[in-house]
Amino acid sequence: MSRITFGGLSSGLDTNALINGLLEVERQPIVQKEQRIKTLEQVKDAWRDINMRLRNLRSTVQELCNKENFLSKQAASTNTAHVQATADTTAENATYEVRVNKLATNHTVAMKSALGKSITEPLELAGKFTLNGVEIEVESTDSLTDLQNKINNSGAGVEASIVAGHLILKSGTSGAKGKMEMSHVSGQNVLESLGIYGSGGFYNETLAARDAELTINGISVTRSSNEIDDLVEGVTFTLYAEGGESTFIRISTATEKAVAAVSAFVEQYNSVNEFIREKLKKPDKNEVGGVGGIGLLQGDTTLMKIERTLRDLVHSPVSDYQKKYFSFASLGVTSIDRDGYLQFNAEKLINALEDDPEAVYDLFNFEINDEDGVGTGQFDGLGVRMDNYLKRLLVTGQDSMGRTMYPISVQQEQAIQRRIDELQRRIEIREERLLRYEERLIRQFTSLEKFISEMQSKGEDLARMITQLSNQQKQN
């Protein structure tokens, strides 16, 4: 709490300025501690930033362990109007010649003539019939719309619709096996009365049940569906039109995802590397705590270890991996300079993927086999190793003794906060001492002013006495 004092009334000295000057000298240790707290807060912010960048790096590393990014396949068609295809990761790179002779169709029948009345009026027909083995009962009050709904809700696997007064029935199953079966059961013959089915069969079969017929690489095949997934492992062919020239389907590795994944990793790694180097570098005298906090963590052994470990993980080959691609460098990821920044040659990765995508993926994430060559369910590789290391830095876990291990940034922030708390405690002690010192100075200067005032008063009394004596002598 500030005090109001009136200094120098007797002495003429600016005692307030003298006191403030003395207090300012005594306050320097507090100023230094406050500046240290400010720097430590910047260090905390730096560790939060490091944590965020490492988390982003881990996300890109996990994409390196994603099988879809390296083993995805793409299928290209020379005539998408006739045949298209999709491929999953199990498909082999190859080209297939496909010729569609016939498309598979869904059996479709219709009434031979329009109803002749509103589709909402009663049909005045009462009877039972079966459709694909499902019995359907028609009441005399049912309209054509009611019959449509009963068929659709029957579970017979038939889609009923009404077009221009015609009831149309379409099998839900394509191919010859999807041919609809109908029969009269009892009552009025509803199917015959509506002109759908009689003793001679279907009155108006608009589309016969037919299988797809095609040749693939010269081999004739027949399938019940136009979507065929059992001809080539991992490839699904979809037929759209028949006739015409052959369509060529080319299955190849979809390299775009892999290139994007590695590019993202290199970019984020360089971001982490640049930030760490900036914090560890020996700054110029005007850089510490300045823009970017250059040199804030100079000499920090924890951060130095992180930098060194990340660099080792990137540049060290997988020694126990017996394939042609055994390091980042073999996939086009190399250092630019001694500072550890990475560059990426995408063409080298693309060539490796076209050559052996499994080997490329396994470099990042391969299963460890036992002595008999059987998978153990444990995984290793560049991506796995880096992800495991980053996980230890970023995720709360337990050590071998069951103790909670917090993320490295949390550990650092907690340690820094303890130092800040201690500095604040010392500042409070100093502030209390400074307050007492100020009170003592005020008392001392007040006493001085009082003493001077008393001396001045005595001097004035003495002067009056001398004047009186002098006047008396003159009178005598």
* Start and end residues for every CATH 2.60.40 domain found in the chain: 106-207
Residues 97-129 pLDDT 10s:
999 999 999 999 999 999 889 999 999 999 999
Residues 240-272 pLDDT 10s:
999 889 999 999 999 999 999 999 999 999 999
Rounded (10°) angle between helices 408-475 and 382-394: 40
State the CB neighbour count (10 A cutoff) for residue 39: 14
| CA-to-CA separations, 61 to 30, 262, 356, 388, in angstroms, rounded | 46, 9, 21, 10
CATH of 106-207, one of 3.40.1440, 3.30.70, 1.10.20, 2.60.40: 2.60.40
At 284 the pLDDT is 66
What is the distance of C-alpha 229 from the center of its chain? 32
Look at residue 384 and tell me whether its pLDDT is greater than 50: yes
Q: How far apart are CA 314 and CA 302, in angstroms?
A: 19
State the CB neighbour count (10 A cutoff) for residue 241: 13
pLDDT band at 380 (very low <50, low <70, confident <90, very high): confident
Look at residue 7 and tell me whether its pLDDT is greater than 60: no
Q: Which residue has the higher pLDDT, 175 or 377?
A: 175
Q: What are phi and psi of 222, to 5 degrees?
A: -130, 135
State the CB neighbour count (10 A cutoff) for residue 213: 17
Q: What are phi and psi of 320, to 5 degrees?
A: -95, 20
Q: How far apart are CA 207 and CA 198, in angstroms?
A: 17
Q: How far apart are CA 79 and CA 86, in angstroms?
A: 14
Residues 320-369 pLDDT 10s:
666 788 889 999 999 988 888 999 999 999 999 988 898 899 899 876 66
User: Does the predicted TM-score (pTM) go above 0.95?
Assistant: no
The mean pLDDT of 465-475, rounded to a whole number, is 76
Cβ-based neighbours of 143, under 8 Å, separated by 6 or more: 118, 119, 120, 121, 122, 123
pLDDT band at 432 (very low <50, low <70, confident <90, very high): confident
Look at residue 291 and tell me whether its pLDDT is greater than 50: no
Residues 195-220 pLDDT 10s:
999 988 999 999 999 999 999 999 99
Phi-psi region of 332 (alpha: psi -120 to 50; beta: other; left: phi over 0): left
Amino acid letter, 413? E
